[in-house]
Homo-oligomer: A and B are copies of this chain.
Amino acid sequence: MKRLMNAVDTLLDESLDGLAAAHADILELGAERKFVRRKVLTPGKVALISGGGAGHEPLHAGFVGAGMLDAACPGQVFTSPTPDQMVAAIEAVDTGAGCLLIVKNYEGDVMNFEMAGELAVADGRTVETVVTNDDVAVPKSTWSTGRRGVAGTLVVEKIVGAAAEQLAPLEALRDLGREVNERTRSFGVALTPCTVPAAGKPTFTLAPDEMEVGVGIHGEPGRRRSKLASADAIADEMLGAILDDLAAPAGSQCLLLVNGFGGTPLMELYLMVNAARRILAGRGMTATRYLTGSLVTSLDMAGCSITVTALDERLTRLWDAPVKTAALSW
């Protein structure tokens, strides 16, 4: 394992300190680095809070800022943050309009956010939760009961974040988050494994001519292992699974998110965009919004995921609304 680091134990802390220094206009760290929070809060706005294990950067801390999250709790690499971190984040950013927790569907994350939410409610706060489970690759996984939450989570965070900025109430935001999740499907393929720093060796092995079809963002197994195929064939299988499950009517407009896992050149991601938009067109759908980049990553894993969200006019307007975070800005 080759890493730019000083020690496994301090990797996350040092990285968070760098993030906070580089984006001091947008965010700041909570005490003991329990959370990353927006520098300036809007009283009366519902607080959006997410979090999860590190190793998926820029998710989630890179999405803290105007138009997206109010706080993000970083766990150690591929490890859920603790309820204590989440409670501290809630206390820091709840201005009285309530908190919406956006949680990827992994057992540790769901359990800890549930516990934190209960503690906050016991403390007199109002808390709702949206659990994302957009990954259609496998019906359940080593780390999740039911489908995994993957790159579609950022779509939920962006769209709900825009509505929160317009001061929508908590229940409406919860319902919007669930609607966006229901309109969103993802599928990932790995060409190489990732290496968790504390483990020091790859999470799985792939032969030089193999890929993992349907991989999770922690390197969890997918549907099958197969010979590396052409980009067109890979995109066909990914979008076939996504669109069969999404079952959007012909003529639908959608957001196409092609997401790199960390070790894949941008050149290849745009090639996948090109393959994907042709397949979408062949199924009678039009990509009217695009997002391309390594945004929900798996450390140094090579490969990508494709996410499709069926849009309507309202969701499109919310997607287009201004955002200013470390990782997304328009």
Contacts and interface: CB of A to CB of B under 8 A. Distances in A.
Copies of this chain in the oligomer:
2
A32 to B, nearest CB: 17
A23 interface: yes
Contact of A266 (B17, B266, B294): B294
Interface stretch (A105-113, A124-132, A267-275): A267-275
Given A300-B265, A329-B330, A330-B329, A270 B18 contact: yes
A57 B2 contact: no
Contacts of A211: 2
Contacts of A303: 4
A48 interface: no
Contacts of A192: 2
Contact of A4 (B22, B58, B234, B330): B234
Contact of A292 (B22, B271, B294): B22
Given A6-B231, A23-B290, A62 B266 contact: yes
A228 interface: yes
B273 A18 contact: yes
Nearest to A189: B4
A62 B292 CA distance: 11
A317 interface: no
A294 B218 CA distance: 21
Given A6-B231, A329-B330, A22 B57 contact: no
A311 interface: no
Contacts of A183: none
Nearest to A77: B267
Nearest to A290: B22
A274 B4 contact: no
A190 to B, nearest CB: 10
B4 A270 contact: no
A269 B23 CA distance: 14
Nearest to A268: B4
Contacts of A242: none
A302 B303 CA distance: 15
B265 A299 contact: yes
A220 interface: no
A21 interface: yes
Contact of A57 (B228, B234, B267): B267
A38 to B, nearest CB: 17
Contact of A263 (B208, B263, B287, B292): B263
Contacts of A292: 18, 22
A2 to B, nearest CB: 4
Interface of A: 2-7, 11-12, 14-19, 21-23, 54-55, 57-58, 62, 191-192, 208, 211, 228, 230-232, 234, 256, 262-275, 277, 287, 290, 292, 294, 297, 299-300, 302-304, 324, 329-330
5 contacts: A4-B191, A14-B231, A14-B274, A22-B273, A266-B297
> Which A-B residue pairs are the 6 nearest by beta carbons?
A18-B274, A18-B273, A18-B270, A22-B290, A4-B268, A2-B191
